Structure 1
Amino acid sequence: MKTINSKTVLFVTGNFVSHLGWTAWQKYFEEQGYTTLAPAWLFKEGTAAELRQKYPDQNIASLRLSQVVDYFENIIKTLPEKPIIVGHSMGGLITQLLVQRGLAEAAVAIHSVPPQGVITTKFSFFKATWGPLGFFTSPNKTFLMSFPQWQYAFTNGMPLEEQQKAYDENVIPESKRISRDGLSSAAKIDFKKAHAPLLFVAGSTDNVMPASLNYSNYKKYKNEQSITDFKEFEGNNHFVLGLSNWKNTADYILNWLANKN
């Protein structure tokens, strides 16, 4: 069994949201003895409110998936050890791509965007992703999720006041090119390649990245010498990082890491 010795955790944010959504997670993991970092993507330093004031932002609009993956690779290369990489949504896909590059000691993909070729026929997926992909609109202008889109894609099932608070604190402009690149060869994974221990986490009420899609992603990995695990949480939507029960997810991840030692 693979022993996980790293005590460094790199949290990778998804698109549409601020990296500050990891703040509570960082504190919690640090209380368990880990060193953590959750860097903003390129051009995304600042609070959600500050970034929304810059909308439309041409620098963010220009971002490509490979550029962001390279950015995180360069961060990893400055660290004293290979980190445990924990990514959410598009950050989950970035995590998978970093694992493929051999840059992780272990990794967790939370409600992950799937790699190229992993698909679903669920209507909720197409409804939630159509706006962010921005087909028939210019990629030179950033996409800013509306509140109704946020309610459907991220915070479905939550009280209105909590949905609004989550929107105000998290939503930022995003590159349409990044979302489209998730369908391209930039998002290709070699599923037969040996890899670091990798856990997929899904939620039963996630509209934008359904649990069944995450399970399909998990099942694609075929290397018998590598550890790949899957866990679905009942009732969790895509705003899993900020739900009132987020520690349940964090504790499962911490226990998974400990049990690989």
Structure 2
Amino acid sequence: MSTKLNSVIFIHGLWIHASAWQPWLDLFTECGYAVSAPGWPGDSDTVAATRDNPDALNDIGIEAIVDHYAELINAGGRHEAKPVVVGHSFGGLVAQELLAGGHVAAAVAIDPAPIKGVKALPLAQLRSAFPVLGNPANRHRTVVLNAKQFRYAFGNTLTEQESAELHDKWTIPGPGRPLFEDATANFHKNSPAKVDTHLVDRGPLLLTSGTEDHTVPLKVTKEVYELYATGGSDTEFHEFEGRGHSLTMDAGWRDVADVALEWFARKGF
């Protein structure tokens, strides 16, 4: 995958297929960006094909996902400008790691999975992760969220109908390993969820949070921002009032996309 000036890479999170980014791809293309939304290692090209082959995602962890995107970016060649990246949920954690590693020029992390060092653990976050963390065997296999679990973790601010429609359209099996790695990050010195928050010479970062998010509650993302704030890096924070974890793909996705577009423009991209 080659990268060009002003290219944007979109990275999905657990349980959501990369094709859910299509409205964002169309919008950013209209605004003059070259865009792409590569899936995680093990993802198939479509939701249906990924559902049909869940074992391809077994034991895929954070490090493998970060390396996958770094390789795609670096395949573009050193003569080309670094891309910028937008990541949601675990994709937001991956975006931060790519930024800290010098692979991208700027990053927007939307309701990102927490990095090492975050101590907040709200009950809503535990309940959202329980379908995976509730069984240690899930560390090495994929897990599928049913409609009820999806409604709590993603669609809690939506009507039951809209939540069910998003679940039916976009959900895929998700590897359990990233959740186990993230949950135990503070107990491992070299956790794959570790990000250097004190880098000053990296590109700008925008962290965002929906105030009603169950999967990554506002309190968690605020704590991530505080970790960066002590390091003097170019890091900003934005709240989306009344929004849950589905904010990148529900009916209000354009409000979120517009914030990202405005921020990239303000930063000179």
TM class by shorter chain equals over 0.9
Residue 199 of structure 2 corresponds to: 193
How far is 1:176 from its partner?
Answer: 1.0
Following the alignment from structure 1 to structure 2, what is the Cα–Cα distance between the partners of residues 207 and 86? 20
Following the alignment from structure 1 to structure 2, what is the Cα–Cα distance between the partners of residues 191 and 103? 16
The SS at the match of 2:116 is coil
- In the alignment, does 2:6 pair up with 1:7? yes
Q: Could you give the per-residue CA deviations for residues 128-174 of structure 1, whole angstroms, max 9, x where no partner exists?
A: 11222344334343111111110000001211221111001111111
The SS at the match of 1:186 is coil
CA contact under 8 A between 2:157 and 2:243: conserved in structure 1? no
Residue 151 of structure 1 corresponds to: 151
Q: What stretches of structure 2 of length at least 5 have no aligned partner?
A: 186-190
The SS at the match of 1:113 is coil
The SS at the match of 1:232 is strand
Which amino acid in structure 2 is aligned with residue 95 of structure 1?
Answer: A
Q: Report the more deviating stretch, 242-251 or 29-38.
A: 242-251
Aligned length: 254
Which amino acid in structure 1 is aligned with residue 65 of structure 2?
Answer: V
Following the alignment from structure 2 to structure 1, what is the Cα–Cα distance between the partners of residues 134 and 63? 19
The SS at the match of 2:64 is helix
CA contact under 8 A between 2:139 and 2:180: conserved in structure 1? no
Following the alignment from structure 1 to structure 2, what is the Cα–Cα distance between the partners of residues 93 and 115? 7
The SS at the match of 2:236 is strand
1:223 pairs with one of 221, 231, 239: 231
- In the alignment, does 2:107 pair up with 1:111? no
2:74 pairs with one of 50, 55, 77: 77
The SS at the match of 2:174 is coil
Residue 216 of structure 2 corresponds to: 209
Residue 58 of structure 1 corresponds to: 55
Residue 42 of structure 1 corresponds to: 41
How far is 1:223 from its partner?
Answer: 2.9
The SS at the match of 1:178 is helix
Q: Could you give the per-residue CA deviations for residues 209-257 of structure 1, whole angstroms, max 9, x where no partner exists?
A: 1112111111101332x31000001111100111212111111111111
Q: How does 1:66-145 map to 2 (within 5 A)?
A: 66-79=63-76, 80-145=80-145
How far is 1:75 from its partner?
Answer: 0.7
Distance 1:138 1:93, change over 3 A: closer
Following the alignment from structure 2 to structure 1, what is the Cα–Cα distance between the partners of residues 140 and 219? 33
CA contact under 8 A between 1:105 and 1:196: conserved in structure 2? yes
CA contact under 8 A between 2:113 and 2:216: conserved in structure 1? yes
CA contact under 8 A between 1:154 and 1:207: conserved in structure 2? yes
Q: What stretches of structure 1 of length at least 5 have no aligned partner?
A: none
How far is 1:58 from its partner?
Answer: 2.6
Where relative contact order (Cα < 8 A, 6+ residues apart) is larger, the structure is: 1
CA contact under 8 A between 2:138 and 2:177: conserved in structure 1? no
Which amino acid in structure 1 is aligned with residue 18 of structure 2?
Answer: H
Query: Any runs of at least 4 consecutive aligned residues in structure 1 with deviations exceeding 6 A, and if so which?
Result: none
TM-score (norm. length: structure 2): 0.90
Following the alignment from structure 2 to structure 1, what is the Cα–Cα distance between the partners of residues 124 and 91? 20
The SS at the match of 2:115 is coil
The SS at the match of 2:248 is helix
CA contact under 8 A between 2:17 and 2:172: conserved in structure 1? yes
CA contact under 8 A between 1:6 and 1:105: conserved in structure 2? no
Identity %: 31
